[in-house]
């Protein structure tokens, strides 16, 4: 059934090109170009998330749920592996730039300084409104961003 007025997600943007999200913090910016993390569109993520939930349930059943760090790392790895196409940051560590690797992404997102970013990123990347095609009105105004995202793809490519 086709619902009048409903504009579906653009699969090319949602699953290939991605959308860029920027998170400005007091000490720097994190930029993530991401595929959708909406489970209806990103089936590999939906499967990986379901497997993660099963792993958590098994861990809890066996009484091994005290180590939340491992669960957090695994979940951030899922976000990275199934969503992140590229990322970069102006945040530094001990006056040195942070290279855009998978491990650095996970550790940066786990840090107390950036702990809120993955929550907002997951909400943004799961919101189908951020992956809809740009409307004719937005295009006429030269708007390159559907809702909160920016489909420019300005971030650097993943290195691992």
pLDDT tens, residue by residue, 32-53 = 999 999 999 999 999 999 999 9
Q: Cα(90)–Cα(81) distance, rounded to whole angstroms?
A: 22
Q: Cα(156)–Cα(143) distance, rounded to whole angstroms?
A: 22
pLDDT tens, residue by residue, 111-143 = 999 999 999 999 999 999 999 987 656 555 544
Other CB atoms within 10 A of residue 80 CB: 21
- Which two structure tokens, joined as six digits, stand for 118? 């993955």
Q: Cα(114)–Cα(27) distance, rounded to whole angstroms?
A: 10
The model's pTM = 0.81
Could you tell me the residue ranges of all domains in the chain?
11-140
pLDDT score, position 157: 53
Per cent of the chain over pLDDT 70 is: 81
Q: Cα(4)–Cα(102) distance, rounded to whole angstroms?
A: 41
């Amino acid at each position: 059934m086709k619902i009048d007025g409903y504009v579906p997600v653009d699969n090319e943007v949602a699953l290939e090109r991605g959308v860029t999200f920027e998170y400005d913090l007091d000490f720097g910016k994190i930029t993530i170009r991401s595929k959708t993390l909406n489970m209806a569109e990103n089936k590999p993520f939906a499967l990986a998330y379901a497997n993660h939930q099963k792993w958590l349930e098994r861990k809890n059943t066996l009484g091994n749920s005290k180590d939340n760090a491992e669960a957090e790392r695994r979940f951030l790895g899922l976000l990275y592996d199934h969503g992140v196409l590229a990322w970069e940051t102006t945040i530094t560590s001990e006056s040195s730039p942070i290279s855009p690797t998978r491990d650095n992404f996970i550790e940066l997102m786990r840090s107390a300084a950036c702990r809120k970013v993955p929550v907002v990123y997951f909400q943004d990347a799961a919101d189908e409104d951020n992956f809809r095609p740009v409307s004719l009105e937005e295009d006429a105004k030269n708007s390159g961003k559907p809702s909160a995202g920016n489909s420019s793809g300005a971030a650097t490519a993943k290195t691992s």
